[in-house]
Structure 1
């Protein structure tokens, strides 16, 4: 089976220690978590873990089944990139003089549709939101000028198809 990108969405109660147990499931299988984001979900008092992995569908299916065995987990799903709409965010900290001394920097900012967040005498900070390859491309273009600091968020995603989690919870709590 070929490896590809999968986004795993885990809906759970917000309990201490769950993140550690979920990451242990990946550790046991030697599968690297490429991106991780935890936030509140569209359902009151339910957290959503968004986990990105590069592996086979078979391994992803097994991981999701293992995650669902955790007592606090309500439901877990996995999707391919084609089934989701997703974004990541990144911040780039760069020396301020380059903003004025290197015309190529302004071209990179305009072409990447990034935004200047702050400027002071020592540095300026760019914010870029987009797909992983867009952020990687911008990083590659800025790297020769010197990046003082770089940080990227975990993926945030919504599915193109309707997620049945709300209906599932309504059925669980109102039956």
Structure 2
């Protein structure tokens, strides 16, 4: 079997220690988590984990089964990239003088469809949301100017198709 990127969605109760147990499932199998995001879901008191891994479908199927055995987990799913809508966000902190002294950096921001979220005397901050490749491309263009700080979020994702969890969780509202 061939390795592919999979997005695992886990709906769970919001309990302390669950993240540690879930990450342990990947650790035991020597599978690296490429991206991890945890947030509230569309249902009150239900959290949603978005975990991105590069592995085989057999392994991801087994991992999802192990995750579902955790008491707090309501349901877990996995999808390939074509079955989801996803993006990441990034912030770039850059020296302010470049914004005013170099027209090229303004063009880079405009062409990449990024936005300036704050400007001070010392620095300005650019925000970019999109596919990882778009963020990496902007990073490469800004790097020669000097990036003071950079941070990128984990993947956030929704499935293209309605998932059975939606109707199951509807009863919890």
Common fold: TM-score over 0.5: yes
What pairs with 1:149-160 in structure 2 (closer than 5 Å)? Answer: 149-160=149-160
SS class of match (1:148): strand
Q: Report the equivalent of 1:102.
A: 102
**Residues 63/100 of structure 1: CA separation in 2 closer, same or farther (3 Å cut):** same
Q: Would you say the 8 A contact 1:13–1:46 is kept in 2? A: yes
Q: TM-score, normalised by structure 1?
A: 0.94
- Equivalent in the alignment of 2:51: 51
Asked if 1:162 corresponds to 2:169, the answer is: no
In the alignment, structure 2 segments of 5+ residues that lack a partner are: none
Whether the 8 Å CA contact 1:43–1:166 is kept in 2: the answer is no
Q: Equivalents in 1 of 2:9, 2:114: separation in Å?
A: 28
Q: CA RMSD in A?
A: 1.3
Matching residue of 2:142:
142
Within a 5 Å distance, the mapping from 1:23-38 to structure 2 comes to 23-38=23-38
| Residues 23-71 of structure 1: CA deviation (Å, up to 9, x unaligned) | 1111111111111111111122211101111121111111111101111
Runs of 4+ that moved beyond 4 A: none
Q: In 2, Cα distance between the equivalents of 1:88 and 1:52?
A: 12
